[in-house]
Structure formats: structure tokens, C-alpha cells
Structure 1
Amino acid sequence: MSTETEIHDPASMSGLELLRAAMSDPDPDRPGIWRLLGMGAKEIEEGRVSFTVTPQADFANPLGSVHGGICATLLDSVMGCAVHTTLPAGVGYTTLELKINYIRAVAVDAGELTATGTVIHVGGRTATAEGKVFSDDGKLVAHGTTTCIVFR
């Protein structure tokens, strides 16, 4: 690999290296949840990540506020990626369990949401993390926990 931002062989990169490379030079043509929701990375450190999403009209539920699945997806992403940053090359994971608590509704025009995921524990077969989503004005919108299964 010639630079940190190039992804030639994802299986040869640690989770931290892969996420940093993917977010430092995202491929606009590569399908994925980040592109679909317009996620951006604010922070990618070992055991901690922070992503942003700006709600749009297509995120609305029938009541006109942001669908809870947007916060759930954002939390699943930051918590899972926080776990990923701790894994060595060639080791994978997936969400085994996801628990979300919604605190308040989010208006579609409320501005940017920021979610942070932090690792609680990484073991041989499972890992746990917690996450929080904040509105543009700094209010807690949702929080959650995850358990991931680790494939070594």
C-alpha cells in the first residue's frame, strides 16, 4: 500500500486503517449506507468514532418527523465501527444485538445529527459498545448499546 488513504486489499488492513482510508477519500460511486444517508466522519480513533447525518425530507415518518430508523442506523454504524477500529487485519464482525432508546423526536429540518460510538469491551468472540446521538443544538436524541459477534 503506497498511502494510508488507498484501499488495495481491505483484508490486509486493520479496522482502524480501513475506516480511516474509506472516510478520508470516499468513493462517491461505491454503494453503501454512508452514501445512502449522506454520513460524514468527524472522528475515527481506536475504540471511538463519530459520524454526522443531516436529515432530509426523505427521512420523514408519516408524522413528519425523522423516522426512528435513521437514528438506529446511525447508532448501529458508529457503535459497530467503534468495535471495528479495535480489530486486526482479517478479523470481521457483525451486529448481534442492538438496543436503542429514543429521547425526543427530530424535525426533518432540525440540522445535523452527530452520533458517537465508544467501545465498552472487546473479547475473543463478542464485543460491546455504546452510542449517543445529539441534535444540532446539542440535545440528546437517542442512545443505545450493541453486542457484536467477532469472526477471528
Structure 2
Amino acid sequence: MTTEELSALSGLELMRWVQTEQPADFPSLRRLLGMRFDEVEHGRSVVSVDTQPDFANTLGTVHGGIAATLLDTAMGCAVHTTLAAGVGYTTLELKVNYVRAAGTDGRILSAEGTVIHCGRRTATAEGRVVDERGKLIAHATTTCLILPATG
């Protein structure tokens, strides 16, 4: 799909394209971390990743930046699903609370992002990261700046 064709998609349509059709070799943070888009719907997204030794901090557990990245992605993409074609967003603020460490041994971490409010200029969302047993790893809130369509 061309850049022009992608820019004509609504936020929800674009996120569904990312979920189902984006080429696996498309340069992205998603490819780098092995992130999957498990669920995409209006105002909600779920992303997951299999932990790996490269995610380790100096203590040998998953670095907090991995959980923050999952949260920023899930919440931002949830916001994106509510936007019209050509309208973008950027994270203004991200507040993460870490609850427990996660191992780097291939366990699945899943982040769910849900929109709380989406206005003309800003949007807010909340998110949670859980491990494959449903144990809470981290939770967060975000504020996003809505970027109007250009052109």
C-alpha cells in the first residue's frame, strides 16, 4: 500500500492494516521487539511480546523500558483508532507505575490500552501490562496531543 493510500485510511483502518497486512520486514519498533497487535477495535488495542534475554536490565529481569514501550504503543494505538483519516497524535505525557518484575525467559507480556477521552486537541488513555498468568506487571496513563490533518 502506498503512503498516499495509507494516509486516506481512518485511524482504525490504519491500525487494522498494521495488525493484519503490514509486511513483516517493514522497519519499525514493532519488528525490532517482535511486537504483535493481538486486538484492535475502536478505542482499544492489545499488543504483546515474548520476552527475551536482550530485554534484560542489569538485574537480569525485563527492563522497565520494555513495559513502558508496550504501554505507550497500546495506549497510543487505542487513541489512533478513534481518529479520522489524516489525523495523527503524539504522546505528551506518559506515567508508568511498575508493580513487579518479569523474567526474560520467553514469557508473554500483553499490554491493553483503552481510551478514556478523545477531544479535539488532546486524548487520554489508560493501560495495563500483564504476564501470561494475568499477573499485573505495570499500569499507566497517557495524554496525547491530537495533530490535525494537513493539506
Q: Is 1:60 paired with 2:56?
A: yes
TM-score (norm 2): 0.94
Map 1:104-115 to 2 at 5 A.
104-109=100-105, 111-115=107-111
Contact 2:19 2:38 in 1 (8 A): no
- Percent of aligned positions with the same letter in both sequences? 58
Q: Is 1:50 paired with 2:46?
A: yes
- Listed one character per residue, the Cα deviations across residues 105-151 of structure 1 (whole Å, up to 9, x for unaligned) are 11111610111000000011000000000011110000000000001
- Listed one character per residue, the Cα deviations across residues 19-71 of structure 1 (whole Å, up to 9, x for unaligned) are 10121023122111110110111110000000110110100001000000000
Give 1:98 deviation, angstroms. Answer: 0.2
Corresponding residue for residue 36 of structure 2: 40
Letter in 2 for 1:16: L
TM-score (norm 1): 0.93
Moved over 2 A (4+): none
Letter in 1 for 2:88: G
Letter in 1 for 2:46: S
Out of 114, 132, 147, which is 2:128 matched to? 132
Contact 2:12 2:80 in 1 (8 A): yes
Contact 1:134 1:141 in 2 (8 A): yes
Q: Which structure 1 segments of 5+ residues have no match?
A: 1-5
- RMSD of the alignment, in Å? 1.1
Contact 2:35 2:49 in 1 (8 A): yes
